[in-house]
Amino acid sequence: MSNLSVLRTYAQTSPSKLPPSVLFSSTSTSMTVFDAFPKAIFHFLILPRIQPPFTTSELSNLRTLLKGDKERAKEVITALNEDAKTLHKEIEEEMMARYGFKWGICTGFHAVPSMNHVHLHVISDDFCSDRLKNKKHYNSFHPKLGFFISLDEVLSWFEATPSYYSSMIKLDEKQYEPILKEDLVCWRCHKSMKNIPTLKAHLQEEWETQARREKAKLAK
């Protein structure tokens, strides 16, 4: 099995077949899995299951889904949104239990994904992880650069004019790929970082500062 299709193989099997090291939870229409290479303390993927009337190819990625039937696409994205809300609560409970405070969670899609099958990232905004190793990893999740497209943003496209919808769903690789090569900038304080090790140390400090602040607030 290719690395690039592993999510597709998950999405077309029964959740009961997946080991607990992979599967976090599931519903009749989706499954939530642990990202195999988490880029933050919490990092999950929500996958729509492949079952009639949906086909493997239309669920290949966000672009193929959105260029198909708009109502069907909206149905899939709306269902993912419901699952994401549930997952948010569960992550926040775990944040409190393990760390004693809550912090931000980013929910969205990569404009140009590397793996087959639609997957919604649900990732905590610390971006502190041994698995975050290069510029592409970081820039692909940076909330402001544009490569990471929030779920709310995608939902808003359905309410926009048809011409706006059709322009946004192009998700052209040539437009988005250069973002991954942009200079490293802290998404919180906007400072430029000279390299990955410096950025990682800075992100760790930012998160620890937030931890101290939030815990002090809760102790009052």
Question: Which residues are marked as active site?
Answer: 119
Q: How far is the CB of 61 from DNA (least distance, A)?
A: 12
Give the CA dihedral 170, 111, 139, 39, nearest 10 degrees: 180
Rule CB under 7 A: say whether 4 interacts with DNA. yes
Token pair recorded at residue 25: 């939870």
Of 133, 170, 191, 212, which lies in the binding site for DNA, with binding defined by CB under 7 A? Answer: 133
Shortest CA distance to 167 belongs to which of 63, 81, 52? 63
Amino acid at 66: L
Give the CA dihedral 103, 119, 185, 89, nearest 10 degrees: -10
* Near DNA in 139-158, by CB under 7 A: 140
Nearer to DNA, 86 or 114 (CB): 114
Find tokens 């599931």 and name the residue.
Answer: 26
Of 135, 165, 168, 211, which lies in the binding site for DNA, with binding defined by CB under 7 A? Answer: 135
Nearer to DNA, 115 or 185 (CB): 115
Nearer to DNA, 35 or 92 (CB): 35
Amino acid at 8: R
The number of C-alpha atoms within 13 Å of 83 and in the hemisphere containing its C-beta is 27
Of 134, 156, 192, 209, which lies in the binding site for DNA, with binding defined by CB under 7 A? Answer: 134
Q: How far is the CB of 186 from DNA (least distance, A)?
A: 14
The number of C-alpha atoms within 13 Å of 133 and in the hemisphere containing its C-beta is 4
Rule CB under 7 A: say whether 191 interacts with DNA. no
For residues 37 and 54, what is the distance between their CA atoms, to the nearest angstrom?
28
Of 196, 202, 210, 214, which lies in the binding site for DNA, with binding defined by CB under 7 A? Answer: 196
Of 17, 37, 69, 204, which lies in the binding site for DNA, with binding defined by CB under 7 A? Answer: 37
Pair 203, 193: CB distance under 8 Å: no
Q: How far is the CB of 175 from DNA (least distance, A)?
A: 17
Print burial letters for 123-136: b (CB count within 10 Å at least 16), e (below 16). Answer: bbbbbbbeebeeee
Rule CB under 7 A: say whether 175 interacts with DNA. no
* Near DNA in 97-126, by CB under 7 A: 110, 113-115
Site residues, DNA (CB under 7 A): 3-4, 36-37, 110, 113-115, 131, 133-137, 140, 181, 194-198
